[in-house]
Amino acid sequence: MAESQTSSSTLARRGLMFILSSPSGAGKTTISRMLLGADDEIKLSVSVTTRPPRPGEVDGVHYYFVDEDEFDRMVEEDDFYEWAHVFGHRYGTPKGRIRNALKEGQDFLFDIDWQGTQQLFQKDQQDVVRVFILPPSIAELERRLRGRDTDSDEVIDARMERARAEISHWDAYDYVVINEDVGGCFAKVREILDAERMKRQRQTGLIPFVRELMS
């Protein structure tokens, strides 16, 4: 019998939108950086913005920089998963660019809050994987925030109040990981990503592969 012409390790698959959310200080940014550094198949989602570039920023790498008219056009054509005003400028997640890349198997990482997560999920449920990172305790979260030594007591109190509000939305996520130590948390997040990539509906190359096995 002739060997299969398709390798099981190179089956075509659809990409996914991998969301990491957490209250400030729970480790979302650290885990995101570790994931991007360890996995070549996922990249950070690049937003569109009307903000002018800062020194060293590259169009298409840090942001897609557009003028107000172009942003208006994208809004009118429903080309954003979500967008918002932030400090006098507008930021949005471009739907067209991401959907085209998902078809090619590209995964995207989103470091966003629960509101952005909700908007993404409403627009594209099949491609979204939602992971929420919790601190091991409120006391530990406050200790981490104070350990940064960058904020006043008033700012830390405000962050703690916001953290409690964000934690209340934990049940809107597919997975919840407690970040007791960063290494263990990162390992669990990678396991989630690997398992989601293997879901049957995302492995678009399975049908021709199985047909070949059965022929």
What is the CATH classification number for the domain harbouring 177? 3.40.50.300
Q: Is residue 90 part of a domain?
A: no
Q: Is the pLDDT of residue 3 over 50?
A: no
Is position 89 within any domain? no
Instruction: List, in sequence order, every residue forming a beta bridge with 93; answer none if it has no partner.
Output: 82
Q: Name 113's Cβ contacts closer than 8 Å, sequence gap at least 6.
A: 21, 166
Model confidence pLDDT, tens digit, residues 132-160: 999 999 999 999 888 877 788 888 898 89
State which residues form the domain around 174: 12-45+107-214
50-109: per-residue pLDDT in tens?
999 999 999 988 899 999 999 999 999 999 988 888 778 999 999 988 999 999 999 999
95 within domain boundaries: no
pTM score of the predicted model: 0.83
Q: Is residue 87 part of a domain?
A: no
Task: Give me the pLDDT at residue 4, please.
Answer: 43
Q: Does residue 40 lie within any of the structural domains? A: yes
Mean pLDDT of 20-30: 90
Question: Could you tell me if residue 31 is inside a domain?
Answer: yes
**pLDDT of 8:** 57
Give CA–CA dist 180/26, Å, rounded.
9
Q: Total domain count for the chain?
A: 1
pLDDT value at residue 2: 42
Tell me, what's the pLDDT at 1? Answer: 39
pLDDT at 9: 62
Q: Is residue 118 part of a domain?
A: yes
Specify if 68 maps to a domain: no
